[in-house]
Amino acid sequence: MITWLEPADPLPPVESALKVPNGLLAASEHVDIDRLVAAYRRGIFPWYGAEDPVLWWAPDPRMVLFTDAFKVSRSLRKTLRRVAGAADVSLYVDRSFEQVMRACAEPRAGQDGTWIGDEMVAAYVQLHRRAQAHSVELWREESMVGGLYGVSLGRVFFGESMFSREADASKICLAALVQILRDAHVRVIDCQQNTRHLASLGAREISRSEFCSILRRELLDAAPCWDRYAGAARNELLSGY
């Protein structure tokens, strides 16, 4: 059994999450913004299908990318250096946050649906307006060809989703994100679930208890100032690779 959360109910302890399915902790009718922030701060995130209630998860182990462990292949390094000086593509931060979410929600090969429904979009757009959620985007002229978004709290970035419409577009955005976070002394990107793609980029699993310990420490500090990167194109973020 999992906990059904009424609007005023606190989130249950992560240790009470189910082992099968791994990390399922609680359910609620809606995504409340304050509860969403409180969940992230405790290592909990929402993930659910269109016909489901809101399901809250805290899996064990947890997939994490430490920014100093980000792996850049030789071919990707060449791509990053090309984009850094390119005139035909531009890298932006927070240019079109909602558009990134909508793009991440588009159907993908091998998937029947998406967990990024209208309620989720509305919730994260509110977080974006509160400067707690951000996007990194790759544009070719006036068309967005790749991007990612997530939640920024303290010295942790909670990655949510990414998409590519051109080869390596999401990897380029991730490389830019890593550089932003390194500059701000943020060393942790929460990747939530283990995938081969994330592992190839340097992410690895740690225990839930270790992850929660990291959160207790890293969330004491202020989040990076994302405004310094917004506005003009930021291709120079890739020049260090």
The domains found in the chain, sorted by start residue, are 3-60 (3.30.70.3550), 63-238 (3.40.630.70)
This prediction's pTM = 0.96
Q: What pLDDT score does 2 carry?
A: 94
Handedness of CA 69, 70, 72, 77 (dihedral sign): negative
Q: Do 174 and 238 meet the contact criterion of CB atoms below 8 Å apart?
A: no
Q: Do 155 and 223 meet the contact criterion of CB atoms below 8 Å apart?
A: yes
Q: Residue 62 pairs with which residues in a beta bridge?
A: 206
> Residue 128 burial by CB count (10 A; 0-12/13-18/19+): exposed, middle or buried?
buried
Residue numbers in the chain where pLDDT is lower than 50: 113
Helix extents (H) in the chain:
33-41, 74-84, 97-104, 118-129, 169-183, 196-200, 208-218
Q: Do 39 and 46 meet the contact criterion of CB atoms below 8 Å apart?
A: yes
Q: What pLDDT score does 98 carry?
A: 98
Strand order from edge to edge, sheet including 3-5? 3-5, 24-28, 54-57, 45-46
Tokens read off for 46: 């929402």
Q: What pLDDT score does 109 carry?
A: 59
Residues 6 or more apart whose CB falls under 8 angstroms from that of 8 comprise none
Q: What pLDDT score does 111 carry?
A: 55
Q: What pLDDT score does 184 carry?
A: 96
Compute the residue count for the chain.
Answer: 241
Q: What pLDDT score does 107 carry?
A: 76
Query: Mapping DSSP to helix (H, G, I), strand (E, B) and coil, where does residue 154 land?
Result: coil
